[in-house]
Amino acid sequence: DTGVSQNPRHKITKRGQNVTFRCDPISEHNRLYWYRQTLGQGPEFLTYFQNEAQLEKSRLLSDRFSAERPKGSFSTLEIQRTEQGDSAMYLCASSLGRGAGVAEKLFFGSGTQLSVL
Amino acid sequence: GQQLNQSPQSMFIQEGEDVSMNCTSSSIFNTWLWYKQEPGEGPVLLIALYKAGELTSNGRLTAQFGITRKDSFLNISASIPSDVGIYFCAGLGQRDTNAGKSTFGDGTTLTVKP
């Protein structure tokens, strides 16, 4: 299966610890997105990359959050000094990103469920 | 910011019944998307709508882009147990240039009793 892969699937951490999640997009996809989803809500856009360039960040992405996509392939999302309010599902999605604009189709991973105790 | 209101919040139906759900917004959207999310998985795109009044089908699913451009509807005919999941609408406003920046609704949870 060559879909979007996210690791780990689940992460439990203590408040104040740092955590890092990884996303491997579909291999030929240039765009990669990160979202946060809490229970009972839809995904909320956090940031996205076109190849290795981080093109946009949401106001939801506080200074404690950082995302990278160093070689334009996989991406990591790090949360420093985690807080209980960071508990959520973190979803990654990828798309071809070759000018399709509003018509581009996103493929989501299964997410990383973060619980901050 | 833009907000989408989905209704109903949840539905419990019998297998074989038809289902209707809708999504409304106070602002105009140029694109409407409908996704399904199953437990422990990410959303999967079902239908995309790009023009006001557009009616598009995908198997037993039919979605419509409202004439006012402030709403969209999803219908599922002859429901089956595997239709269970959360259905999200997502919209793209006039300033959004790619589907990845969609605003999502809070979902309609569908339960189908065999």
Cis omega before residue B114 (within 30°)? no
Q: Which residue of A has its CA nearest to B96?
A: A102
- Contacts by residues A61-64 (CB-CB < 8 Å, ≥ 24 positions apart): none
Phi and psi for B82 in degrees, rounded to 5? -75, 0
Kindly determine whether residue B42 and residue A109, on different chains, have CB atoms separated by under 8 Å.
yes
pLDDT band at B98; cut points 50, 70, 90: confident
pLDDT digits (tens, 9 = 90+) for B46-97: 999 999 999 999 999 999 999 999 999 999 999 999 999 999 999 988 777 7
In degrees, rounded to 5, the angle at the alpha carbon of residue A47 between the alpha carbons of residues A117 and A20 is 40
**Partners of residue A101 in chain B, C-beta under 8 Å:** 97-99
Candidate from A42, A44, A48 with C-beta closest to B107: A42
Residue B10's pLDDT band, with cuts at 50, 70 and 90, is: very high
Question: For position B110, what pLDDT does the model report?
Answer: 98
pLDDT of residue A102: 65
Measure in Å the smallest separation between the Cα of A39 and chain B Cα atoms.
9
Query: Which DSSP letter does residue A58 get?
Result: -
**According to the model, what pLDDT value does residue B76 have?**
98
Of B42, B106, B107, the CB nearest to A93: B42
Assign residue A51 a region: left if phi > 0, alpha if psi is -120 to 50, beta otherwise? left
Model pLDDT for residues B16-54, shown as the tens digit of each residue: 999 999 999 999 999 999 999 999 999 999 999 999 999
Burial bucket for residue A58 (CB in 10 Å: 0-12, 13-18, 19+): middle
Q: Residue B95: its pLDDT value, please?
A: 77
Nearest CB to A91 within list B42, B45, B106: B42
Cα separations (Å) of B78 from A51, B35, B65? Answer: 43, 19, 22
pLDDT at A1: 54
Paired residues of B86 in beta bridges: B37, B109
The string of pLDDT tens digits covering residues A61-81 is 899 999 999 988 999 999 999
Low-confidence ranges of chain A (pLDDT < 50): none
Closest-CA distance of chain A to residue B29, Å? 11
- What residues of A are in contact with residue B106 (Cβ under 8 Å)? 40-42
Q: Cα separation of A52 and A110, whole Å? A: 22
For chain A, how big is the Rg over CA atoms in Å? 14
